[in-house]
Chain A
Amino acid sequence: MMPAAARLERWRHVLVLGVLVGVWQVAAMELGGFVVASPAETLRSLGEGLRDGWLPTATWVTLKETVLGYALAVATGVSAGILLGRHRFWGEVFDPLIALVYSIPKVTLYPVFLLLFGLGYASKVAFGWFHGVFPILIFTAAGIRTVRPVYHKLARTLGLSPWQRFYHVEFPAALPAVLTGLRFGFSLTFLGTILGEMFASKHGLGFELMQATTVHVVPRIFALILVMVVLAVLANGLLVRFEGTVTRQGGPSSAARRASPGAPGEVGFRSAS
């Protein structure tokens, strides 16, 4: 049995969702089907898309590209972050350069990715990677750097080898910050993939969205947006939950708390609370 407060909380969220759907319905009725598709029309279009098969196909393509780009971003971002976090000198050398690259509007560089990787899957995967890798790198490096000095002292007292020090002390202590980076990284990889599909592609949700916009099939536009929002929120929710589990079990979370405020890309109450 849930405590009363939690139940009330849940009802409040149901209420907010209800209000959102209500506003959507009213907007559809006021503005007309040419501008806003009603929730019912959107669901119908969603059903048709599932039946005709183009929607699962497009979703599958987008997911594949996103997951591949994300896997690359995690692998490269975490390892580069660990290197820059552990080697103070190189960290200081590259930090401002990385912050600069992180702050540039990456979408501008999309044509360069097309020239480098062509019009197929590769350019979307590379573009997704490019969006996701920087927050992962930055958060990982910050997490390693802010491991409390007393842990390093302990490691030295215990006579740990560099590898043992990393595996048993630094990485567990930095893990919460790394996980926050992984969550931001996923959102950005997804965004990068969708943008890539919108600008130059023949497959995927982004491409279908452009198609639906060009021929102006409003219910289909709404169905596609709904699918993307649901995917994004689901993935984000999973990663938040994963973060919660690992942080509770794992080592001290203080490193993450000190690492996250002020790090670029920081948005959200969670990390500040």
Chain B
Amino acid sequence: MSHRRKVQAARAIALVVGLAFLELGPRLGWVDRLTLVPLSEVLRSLHAQLVQGKLTEHLGASAVTVVTAFGLAVLTGVPAGLLLWRLPKVRALLEPYLASYYAVPVFALYPLLISLLGMGYLPIVAIAWGWSVVAVVVNTAVGFTQVRPVYRKLAVTLRLTPWQTFRHILFPAAAPYVFNGIKLAVTYSVIGVIASEFILAPRGLGWLISYHYNNFSLREMYAALALVLVLATGIYTAVGRAERAVRRRAG
């Protein structure tokens, strides 16, 4: 067996063992039934709820909020990062603040946003945007700043126009960093939305999870939880695909 095959086989075994534990743990009494629900029951409940349309409203609400916040973070974060790259003085001034931004529990600011924007959709978008945008800004700025000088010399030698330099030299060189920031933004915006929905929304998957938790309907809770994980993994994978496509074309 080749090395690659062996790795894949071991990974598959690890996954199967993990999933088997989720199924058998509660069935065989290793884990309390009031703590964990067998995987098959969770999936059945998820399927039933989806078919009955009980999740549509919440899934829609959360998805719209996440996509709005994430989209805003990319649309504002990338230009801001570019600006920061073009203005080294401002960058030097703001560096310590941006570098310690994620040391601060941003979510603690949400009461402020409620009093500014009222309850509902807006403060949730604001907190998720605020949480994710800095990752995009910083990574974009870092990506363009670290482009090796020899590439820029090459562009001068080839007499490229500024746009050509950007399109064929700078962007491809900075892309891994930019996409790293965008991927972080996916995670942060989902966290921001779900966490906010836990406490300040009348609907959404975060609200649904805490509702089922409080009512002790664990099967439904785990179903909603699984749905969030699927949603997050889905967006994450889509961004990964987009990255590969863009880099192949830009490469």
A60 within 8 A of B: no
- Are A104 and B233 neighbours in the complex by a CB distance under 8 Å? yes
Interface centre among B91, B105, B107, B181 (most CB of A within 10 A): B105
| Interface residue ranges of B137-158 to A (CB < 8 Å) | 138-139, 141-142, 145-146
- Among B4-12, B44-52, B67-75, B160-168, the one that faces the other chain is B4-12
Q: Is there contact, CB below 8 Å, between A103 and B225?
A: no
CA–CA, A109 to B222, complex, Å?
9
Contact A225 B109 (CB under 8 A): yes
> Which one, A12, A89, A190, contacts B7 given CB within 8 A?
A89
A268 at the interface (CB under 8 A from B): yes
CA A157 to CA B183, docked complex, whole Å: 43
Which residues of chain A come closer than 8 Å to B102, judged between CB atoms?
Answer: 184, 187, 267-268
A114 surroundings in chain B (CB, below 8 A): 213
**Majority secondary structure of chain B interface residues (helix, strand, loop or mixed):** helix
CB distance from B88 to the nearest CB of A (A): 11
Interface residue? B201 (CB, 8 A): no
Residues in chain B near residue A31, CB distance under 8 A: 116
**CB-CB < 8 A to B206: which residues of A?**
108
Distance of A225 from chain B, by nearest CB (Å):
5
Bound CA–CA A228/B107 (angstroms)? 11
Q: Which residue of chain A has the shortest Cβ distance to B191 in the bound complex?
A: A105
The yes or no answer to A96 lying at the interface (CB within 8 A) is yes
B141/A103 in contact, CB under 8 A? no
Name the prevailing secondary structure of the A interface residues.
helix
Q: A93 CA to B191 CA in the complex, in Å? A: 27
- Do A89 and B6 touch across chains, with their CB atoms under 8 A apart? yes
Cβ of A250 under 8 Å from chain B: no
* Residue A153 lies at the interface, judged by CB distance under 8 Å to chain B: no
Measured between beta carbons, the chain B residues less than 8 angstroms from A199 are 198-199, 210
Q: Cβ of A269 and Cβ of B225 under 8 Å apart?
A: no
Interface residue B76 (Cβ < 8 Å from any Cβ of A): no
Fill in one digit per residue for B79-116: 1 if any A CB lies within 8 Å of its CB, else 0.
00000000000010111111111111101110110111
Which of A45-53, A68-76, A158-166, A232-240 is the interface stretch?
A232-240
- Report yes or no: A267 in contact with B134, Cβ–Cβ below 8 A: yes
Whether the pair A225, B236 counts as a contact (CB closer than 8 A) is no
Q: A103-B236, A109-B225 are in contact. Are A233 and B111 (CB under 8 A)?
A: no
> How does the 8 Å CB contact mask read for A86-122 relative to B, with 1 for contact and 0 for none?
0001101110110010011111111110111000000
Can you list 21 contacts pairing A with B, beta carbon distance less than 8 Å?
A89-B10, A93-B11, A103-B186, A104-B232, A105-B228, A107-B194, A107-B195, A108-B229, A111-B209, A112-B35, A115-B36, A116-B35, A194-B108, A210-B199, A221-B112, A232-B105, A264-B183, A264-B184, A267-B135, A268-B102, A270-B99
Residues of B within 8 A of A (CB): 3, 6-7, 10-11, 14-15, 34-36, 91, 93-105, 107-109, 111-112, 114-116, 134-135, 138-139, 141-142, 145-146, 176-177, 180-181, 183-184, 186-187, 190-191, 194-195, 198-199, 206, 209-210, 213, 218, 221, 225, 228-229, 232-233, 236
